[in-house]
Amino acid sequence: MDIGIIVESLPRLLGGVMVTVEITALSVILGLILAIPLSIMRVSSNPFIRLPVYGFNFYFRGTPLLVQLFLIYYGSGQFQEVFSDWGLWRFFREAYFCAILSLTLNTAAYSSEIFRGGIEGVSSGEIEAARACGMSGFLLYRRIIMPAALRIAWPAYTNEVVFLLQASSLVSIITLMDITGVARVIAARSFAFYEIFITVALIYLALVYGLIYVFKKMENRILGYLSPDSLSS
C-alpha cells in the first residue's frame, strides 16, 4: 500500500469530483425539465401522444446506458455531413455535450416513468374538487396534480438521482476526466491500481450518502405534513 500516491493524487481527484458533480447536476436538471412534460404525455388518453413517449421510455430503459452513450458519441460520426449541414456537428464532436445528452435522455426516461406513477397516485377526490372549482387543463396540472404527484414520486426520484450520479462514471469511457476518468489515468501511469480505486470508491460513497442526506432533508420538508410529528407541534 502506497499512501504517498493517494495523497499526491488527491488534488487531481478533487478536480474530477467537480466534473462529476457538474455533469450529474446538469443532467438531473435538464432531465427533470424533460421528464415532467413527458410524464404528462405518458398518461394522455390520446394514443398518438402516449405511444411515442412509451416507445422512447421503453428504448432508453431497455438498453444499457453505455450503448446510448456510444450511439450518441461515436454513432453521430456516421452522420457527420448531415450534422455539419445543420450546424450541429460542433456539439456532437464534443464528448462533454454527448455525455450530458445521453445522461439527460436516460434519466428523462426513468424519471418520467416515476412521475407517471406519481400522477396515477394522485387521489381522484383532489382532482374532482379542483374541477368543481372550475380548474382544468394547465391550471389543474400546475396547481393540483403535479405538486401532489412530485411529492408521491420523491422517494423513488431520490433513487434515480443516486443512480445517475453513479452512472456518470461511464463518461470516463468517452475520455472525460470525471473522478473515474482521472483515476484511470493515474492508475495506468503509476500502477497503483487498488490504492487509487479504493480512494475513488470512498469518494463516491461520500458523494452518494451526502446526496441521500440532502434529499432526505428535502423529503422531510415537502412531505413533512405527513409525518406524525407535524400533528403534535
Partner 1 sequence: MFDLQGYGSLLIEGGKLTLAVGVCAMIITVLVGLGSSLCKLSDIKTLQRIAGLYTTVIRGIPELVLILLVYYGAPTLMQDTLNLFGIDIYISINPFIAGTLTIGFIYGAFATEVFRGAFMAVPKGQIEAARSCGMGSVLTFRRILLPQMWRFAIPGLGNVWMVLIKATALISVIQLPELMRNADIAVRSTRKPFTCYFAASLIYLAITIVSLLFQQWAEKRASRGIKRAL
Q: Which residues bind partner 1 (CB under 8 A)?
A: 1, 58-59, 62-68, 70-71, 74-79, 166-167, 169-170, 172-173, 180, 183-184, 187, 191-194, 197-198, 200-201, 204-205, 208-209
Q: Report how far residue 21's alpha carbon sits from residue 116's, in angstroms, rounded to the nearest whole number.
A: 27
Minimum distance of partner 1 from residue 168's CB (angstroms): 8
Q: Which long-range contacts (CB under 8 A, 24 or more apart) does 125-133 make?
A: none
Which cell is 33 given?
425539465
Three-state SS annotation for 126-145: HHHHHHHCCCCHHHHHHHHH
106 or 112: CB nearest partner 1: 106
Q: Are 179 and 203 in contact (CB under 8 A)?
A: yes
51 or 194: CB nearest partner 1: 194
Minimum distance of partner 1 from residue 187's CB (angstroms): 7
95 or 208: CB nearest partner 1: 208
115 or 195: CB nearest partner 1: 195
Minimum distance of partner 1 from residue 107's CB (angstroms): 15
Q: Let me know the angle formed at the C-alpha of 109 by 106 and 113, rounded to the nearest 5 degrees.
A: 145
Which cell is 174 given?
468517452
38 or 203: CB nearest partner 1: 203
Minimum distance of partner 1 from residue 203's CB (angstroms): 9
Q: Are 35 and 107 in contact (CB under 8 A)?
A: yes
Minimum distance of partner 1 from residue 59's CB (angstroms): 7
